[in-house]
Structure 1
Amino acid sequence: MATHLAAVATGKDQPFEIQDRQTRMPGPGELLIGVKSIALNSIDYKCRDTGFAVASFPAVMGSDVGGVVLKAGTNVPSTFKPGTRVSAFAPAFFQRCAPDYGAFQQKVIIPARNVTPIPDTISFNEAATMPMAVVTTWSGWWTIGLPRNTAFSPSDKQGMLVWGGSSSVGSMVVQSAKLLGFTVYATASAKNHEYVKSLGADRVFDHKDPSVEQSMIDAAKGDGLTFQYGYDAVGALQSCQNILKELKGSGPAHLASATPLMPGSPTTDGIDTKFVVASLEEEEQAEQFSFWMNVWLKEKLEKNEIVPSPKIQVVEGGLHGINKGLAILKAGVSCTKLVIEI
C-alpha cells in the first residue's frame, strides 16, 4: 500500500515526529488532497500541548491546506476532478485529530464540502491562509444570528465592530462584513492601519490607545451609526461590550467571540455574547460547510471580492518545520500568517 510522510503527535505535550503513514483512499463524499502548503493556527499547538480535541494518540493535527486533488471518492461533484488546485479545510478538530484527517501530512482526506477550487492567480500558500478564517468568520455570523443574505447599504448606517482586524480571522471578518454592507470599524496596531483599511475597514483604531473605546464611540456617533453586531477576534470582550452598549440603539447587540468564553468572562446587560462555533448537528454542519467553502468562498475568489490575508511568512523545513513554526506562533505574531511548504 502507498505511504506518505506525516508530522505525528505521539503523545500530549510532545513535539511532532515525522513518520510514514499509509495513504487511505477517499470514501463517499471525500477527496484525497496532495498537500502543497499548510497554514498554522493557534489551535494546532493547543491540541498538541494539552490533548484538546484529541480522541487518542498518535494523532495528526492541522486545518489549513492549499493543494491538489489526487483522487475523488463517490458522490463528489465533478468540480473536483484530479489535478484541481484547491483551498481546503481539513477536519482535524471535528474528527478528534484522527490521523487521516489532519493537515500536517503530504496527503490528507478532506470532505468535498470543505474544499473550494482556486483561480490560477491564487498561490498554494495563499490558498492555505483562508479556510480556517472563512469557517471561523461564518461560524461567528451563524452563532450570533446574522443572516447569510444580509445586504445593507451605506444609508442604513449599520456598523460592525471588529476587534483584531489584522489577525487571521479578523482580516477575513473585515472583508466579509464589508461585503454584507456594514460600515466596518476595526482595531489594529498603528503600523497595520492602512493594511486593514485596504481590506475594507472604514475606520481603524489603535487598540493600544487608552482612549480607544471612547474614540470609537465618538466617531460612530459622529457618523450616525448603530452597532448591533460585533466580532471579537482576539479576546477583548470587555472593550467590545462597552462599545456596543453605547452604540446598539434599542434592543440587544450581538457579539461573536473567537476565543472561548470561560467562567468569569465579562458580561454586559443588553449584549448577547456567544463563542463562535459551527453547528454540531451533522446535517446542518454539512450544509454550512458546503455553503461557506463550495459556494461563498468560490464565488468571492472568482469575482476577486476577497483576498488571502494577512501577510504570509514561510517557515522553512517542510513538515520538519512545524514544531518551529508553532513555537513562533505561540510567542506571538502580528498581521502575519505562518505557512509551511511541502
Structure 2
Amino acid sequence: MSLPYAFGEPPVTGRLRASPEDFVVDEVLGLVPEGRGEHLWLAVRKRGENTAWVAKQLARIAGCAEREVGYSGLKDRHAVTTQWFSLPAPRQPVDWSRLAVRTAAEILVITRHPRKLRTGTHRANRFLLTVRELEGDLEGLEARLTRIAREGVPNFFGEQRFGHEGGNLTAVRAWFAGGKPPHRGQQGMLLSTARSTLFNAVLGRRIEAGNWLTVLPGEPLLLDGRHSFFIAGEVDEAITRRLREGDVHPSGPLWGKGGTQAQAACAALEQAVVAAEPLLAEGLEREGLEPARRPLRVIPRQMHWRQDAAAKVLTVGFVLPAGSYATAVMREIVRSD
C-alpha cells in the first residue's frame, strides 16, 4: 500500500541503517523491578538479533521452556536495542556469559520481580537514529523537523507489521478466504496485520482529504497516552486548544465485531474506506475481536537533532509511546530506501 505524506515529500534523501549502530532503541519500561521475587528480570542489549531468538537462547541457558521467557515487545533486528526479559529464577547457578557466545547480545542488569514480564508492559521506546549520505534542501529539512516536533506525524503502522514483502498480509487474506487456519502462535500476528491494514487505509484517506488533524463530527478523541476516548460533539475552542497542545488526538479504527466505534460523519468515512476491504473486515468481525481505537497522530517527545552538513549526516533522537513506529517518523523526514 502506498501511503501519503502529511507534509508533502521530504526535502532530503539519505541512507538509514547503514549499520545497526545507526538505529539505537532503548526500552522505557515504565516500572522498576522490585529486586525480589520468583522471576529474574534481565536487561539485555543486542545487536542484529531479533527478540524471539534472544529469548530462545535465554531459555536454553537457564534450562526453562521458551514459553516461560517473557518480554514486553518485539524490537528491531537491524539495530542496537536494549530491552527487558524475564524468566523463572533458576534453582542452580547459571553462567549468563554464555549468551554473548550464542548471540550478539549481552546482559546489562540482573534483578528480580514477583511477576513475569508481560507483553505491552513497557511505556515507550527511546530512539537515536543516524541518516547518512544526506542530500537535498537542508534549510527545508530544518523547518520540517521543527514542524514535526510541534505537530507530530501520521501514526502509521510500519512495514515490519506486514512481514517480509507483505507475507503476513498475504497469509491473513488466504486464511480469511477459507484457507487452512494458521497455528495458534501465528493467529494473533495475522489478526493484527489485518487491523493494521484497515487502520492505515483510513489514515491515508484522511491525509488525502486534509482532515487527519481535524475533529470530524462523531470523532472518538483519544486522550494522550491513554486508551480511553470520548466522542466529539461540538468542536469548541477548548477542544481545538487540546488538539493543538497534543492533549487529545483524532483516532482511527482497530476493526472488530460491530465495526467502528465512531459516529456520524467519522463513522461514514471509516465504513466507506473499509468497504473496499470486505475480506479483512468480515474476517476480523467473524473472529470476534473487540473494536478499539488508535491515535491518528503521534508526537515524538523529547525530540532533538543535529545536522553535520560537511559529513552529510543527520542524527535524530526522540521518544515514542509503545506501539508507534520510528519509521513512521523518519519517512516524513527523509526519503530513504
Q: TM-score range by the shorter chain?
A: under 0.3
Q: TM-score, normalised by structure 2?
A: 0.26
Q: TM-score, normalised by structure 1?
A: 0.26
**Larger CA Rg, structure 1 vs 2:** 2
